[in-house]
Amino acid sequence: MPVIRVEDIRKSYGDVRAVDGVSFEVAEGEFFGILGPNGAGKTTTLEIVEGLREPDSGEVSILGRRPWPRNQELLTRIGVQLQASSFFERLTAREQLRTFASLYGVPASRADEMLETVGLTESAATRTEKLSGGQAQRLSIACSLVHSPDVLFLDEPTGALDPQARRNLWDLLRSNAAQGRTVVLTTHHMEEAEALCQRVAIMDHGRILQTGPPAALVRELDQSVRISIESGTLSAEQARALADGAAVADDGVSLSFTTTAPAALLAALSDRNALAGLQVRGATLEDVFLHLTGREYRS
Amino acid sequence: MNPAPALRSLSVAMFRGFVRDRAALFFSLLFPVLFLVLFGALYNNSGTPQITVIEIGRVGVIDHAMAASHGRLGQVLTITHEASLAGALSNVRQGNADAAIRQQGDRLVVSYSVSDPTTAAVVRQIFASIVDQANVAATGHPPTYQLTDSQVESASLKPIQYITPGLLGWAIASGGAFAAATTLVGWRQNKLLRRLRLAPVRTSSIVTARIAVSVVIGIAQMFVFIGIASLPYFGLRLTAYWWMAIPVVVVGTLAFMSIGLLVGAVAKTQQAATGLANLIILPMAFLGGAFIPLAFAPQWLREVSYVMPLRYLVVGMQDVMARGDGPASVLPAIGILLAITCVLTAIAVRLFRWEEV
Ligand SMILES: Nc1ncnc2c1ncn2[C@@H]1O[C@H](COP(=O)(O)OP(=O)(O)OP(=O)(O)O)[C@@H](O)[C@H]1O
Ligand SMILES: [Mg+2]
């Protein structure tokens, strides 16, 4: 019995099909990721699932209930962190969290514990406007967790953070996910999806291209290898001729091939003396994306 | 879930947000008080014009009248003395005195400048009546008719009696409108409205909290205004049913918050909301009797004021705070303000958006 069931939801804004027939299920206690580049439709999908937007068509159920129209009882059991952090103006971190806690009927002591959990006790008296990006995100996550929800939705929780702050947040999310909660997270960081999610849905242009555990998706690529050389070494036609069916992409810095027959390709490149800047590595989720869409992943 | 704790904590959060916003505090609390102090000082003692008259030599009629009036004449007349006619006239010409008076046998000669026609008229009136009284007294009979004057209002309507409710009305109007408009737009801009929508809190709790905070601020403003205006220097005298101004303040706050809601529903940014609210409130302060007391306003302005919601707030408060009217006199104003609230809120709800498009 899945905790979240999404069936063929669609949402258009004028001519833009933001979500174009998305279906997925999330099991209890699962950490599920929606991965896709900017504008893929991740936020729109998440907001429909949370009950913030009404889909044009399709069905959503969370914990057996429909999130739209607004369902007060369901809202006590889900926690959300929106893509843009949203706080009361001019309150300190502690006041902020206590205010949110009281909206859920949670005592202030629990709010203070939560502040400790996310490592913000020292910034408790700081106004939210003055928190660093990472601290604000932590507080935002604390606000979404303060009432111990069964299901947690996080929209790009590490959006604008530096690598160090991102890793700190990952630790926080991992320890929280370990508490048996069902989590749905969106991200455009491949690395993040690989590090956190048990299962990811790769999304582009409003559709889910593939779903599965990150490792399995990579494996399904049939041990493909990614070979890149300096951009400009070969012309586009030459590259395509050499590729022999492998995916080719040129991002202006390097020309990359994703292939299951690396030996032949390497030999051919070497024949043409086109090995400048050569790099060879195993496939990642980026290659899965490249394979699925035929274009380079740009987050 | 029990809505009371949510209501309380939302109110506290909004109240904190308000008192920590220096600019909002200044413009909604301090600024109107500054106006009150300024206007109050400006109009202080301007109730009756003081007239300075130079007495040349001795003028018995005047001295007698001054003595007989038990000081009442002294409230309007200041008498100085001068020996020479030429010096006195030159003083009048230069505006140092309003008139010069001398006695030539049975004739009283008043010399005044016509550069200020109002003062000139008052001067003539005063001396005409002094001479009349002296004539009656000279006949040895008691006067046949006597004029006893009493003011319609129970208290003397010094300007402060008008200024206080007027500026208070303006303060409450702008406070309410700005609070509603900027909260709505700000919370929409920073996505808090959407976040609250995903919390198990009723929309009515959010609205009630916002109203409660504004009403408390409005009533606080009222007491600050009354406190300052009642200082001996300004001399406000509250009349018997002044406390009936409290319900007027409450419904006035509601009415102007509904204007703010409407502004907040159409404005996209907080700056736009502030600008638009100003554009509505400021002209209304002039046309609705807040800055210019309607009693002294030209006829057209008095007629225009009837379509200004602010008029009912200001006049309602004036009636019970300063004019000594009974408690029921504010009921029409309260009714009209409530009606305005209902209509504008209904429109604002139709225009309401949870988020920016
Ligand atoms: N309220 C809206 N009105 C009009 N178009 C919208 C609206 N919200 C989203 N869109 C469009 O729908 C598409 C999907 O947007 P969405 O925000 O869901 O993408 P996303 O995957 O979350 O992107 P990002 O990684 O930048 O957050 C985009 O083309 C966007 O321009
Ligand atoms: Mg997004």
Q: Where do the structural domains in chain B lie, given as residue ranges? A: 8-44+159-351, 51-139
- pLDDT value, residue B326: 92
For B205-224, what is the mean pLDDT?
93
* Residue A216 predicted with pLDDT over 80: yes
Question: Which one is predicted more confidently, A200 or B148?
Answer: A200
On the CB side of B6, CA atoms within 13 Å amount to 18
Q: Exposed, middle or buried: residue B300 (CB in 10 Å: 0-12, 13-18, 19+)?
A: exposed
* Residue B51 predicted with pLDDT over 90: no
Distance B160 CA to ligand 1 centre (A): 58
- pLDDT value, residue B111: 86
Distance B144 CA to ligand 1 centre (A): 92
Distance A43 CA to ligand 1 centre (A): 7
* Residue A299 predicted with pLDDT over 70: no
Across chain A, which distance is largest between two alpha carbons, in Å? Answer: 72
* Residue B153 predicted with pLDDT over 60: no
**Residue corresponding to tokens 């008296």:** A125
Three-state SS annotation for chain A = CCCEEEEEEEEEECCEEEEEEEEEEECCCCEEEEECCCCCCHHHHHHHHHCCCCCCEEEEEECCECCCCCCHHHHCCEEEECCCCCCCCCCEHHHHHHHHHHHCCCCHHHHHHHHHHCCCHHHCCCEHHHCCHHHHHHHHHHHHHCCCCCEEEEECCCCCCCHHHHHHHHHHHHHHHCCCCEEEEEECCHHHHHHHCCEEEEEECCEEEEEECHHHHHHHCCCCEEEEEECCCCCHHHHHHHHCCCEEEECCCEEEEEECCHHHHHHHHHHCCCCCCCEEEECCHHHHHHHHHCCCCCC
| Length of chain A counted residue by residue | 299
**Ligand 1 and A53: CB distance under 6 A:** no
For A46-57, what is the mean pLDDT?
95
- pLDDT value, residue B134: 81
Please give the number of the atom of ligand 1 that sits closest to the Cα of A42. Answer: 21
Q: CB neighbours of B179 closer than 8 A, spacing ≥ 6?
A: B18, B28, B210, B213, B214, B217, B257, B260
**Ligand 1 and A189: CB distance under 6 A:** no
What mean pLDDT value characterizes chain B?
87
- pLDDT value, residue B154: 42
Report yes or no: B252 and B313 within 8 Å, Cβ to Cβ.
yes
Each residue of A55-111: pLDDT tens digit? 999 999 999 999 998 999 999 999 999 988 889 999 999 999 999 999 999 999 999
Q: How is residue B142 annotated by DSSP?
A: P
Cβ-based contacts of B197 with chain A (< 8 Å):
52, 70
SS3 of residue B53 by DSSP: strand
- pLDDT value, residue A98: 97
Q: Please indicate whether, in this complex, the C-beta atoms of A105 and B5 are within 8 angstroms of each other.
A: yes
Task: Choose the CATH number for A224-282 among 3.40.50, 2.60.200, 3.30.70, 2.30.29.
Answer: 3.30.70
Complex prediction ipTM? 0.82
Q: Exposed, middle or buried: residue B81 (CB in 10 Å: 0-12, 13-18, 19+)?
A: exposed
What mean pLDDT value characterizes chain A?
90
Each residue of B275-325: pLDDT tens digit? 999 999 999 999 999 998 888 889 999 999 999 999 999 999 999 998 889
Each residue of A126-174: pLDDT tens digit? 999 999 999 999 999 999 999 999 999 999 998 778 888 889 889 989 8
* A103 near B CB under 8 A: yes
Task: Choose the CATH number for B51-139 among 3.40.640.10, 3.40.190.10, 3.20.20.140, 2.40.50.140.
Answer: 3.40.190.10
Each residue of A241-253: pLDDT tens digit? 888 777 888 888 8
Domain A4-213 bears CATH identifier 3.40.50.300: yes
* A72 near B CB under 8 A: yes
**Ligand 1 and A15: CB distance under 6 A:** no
Cβ-based contacts of B192 with chain A (< 8 Å):
86-88
- pLDDT value, residue B155: 41
Residue to mutate among B184, B198, B206, B356, with most A CBs inside 10 A, is B198
- pLDDT value, residue B149: 59
Please give the number of the atom of ligand 1 that sits closest to the Cα of B355. Answer: 1
Residue spans of the domains in chain A: they are 4-213, 224-282
Lowest mean pLDDT among A8-12, A54-58, B151-155: B151-155
Alpha-carbon span B262 to A154, nearest angstrom:
33
* Residue A10 predicted with pLDDT over 70: yes
- Token couple for A127: 């106004």
> Which one of A89, A91, A104 has the shortest CB-CB distance to B199?
A104
Lowest mean pLDDT among A273-282, B21-30, B140-149, B260-269: B140-149
Cβ-based contacts of A104 with chain B (< 8 Å):
1, 199-200
Each residue of B337-355: pLDDT tens digit? 999 999 999 998 888 887 7
- pLDDT value, residue B119: 78
Question: Which one is predicted more confidently, B334 or A224?
Answer: B334
Alpha-carbon span A230 to A138, nearest angstrom:
40
* Residue A177 predicted with pLDDT over 70: no
On the CB side of B159, CA atoms within 13 Å amount to 20
Alpha-carbon span B193 to B195, nearest angstrom:
5
* Residue B268 predicted with pLDDT over 50: yes
Q: Please indicate whether, in this complex, the C-beta atoms of A103 and B16 are within 8 angstroms of each other.
A: no
Q: How is residue B357 annotated by DSSP?
A: -
* A108 near B CB under 8 A: no
Radius of gyration of chain B (CA): 28
Cβ-based contacts of B13 with chain A (< 8 Å):
88, 91, 95, 99
Across chain B, which distance is largest between two alpha carbons, in Å? Answer: 95
> In 3D, which of A208, A186, A215 has the Cα closest to residue A292?
A208
| Length of chain B counted residue by residue | 357
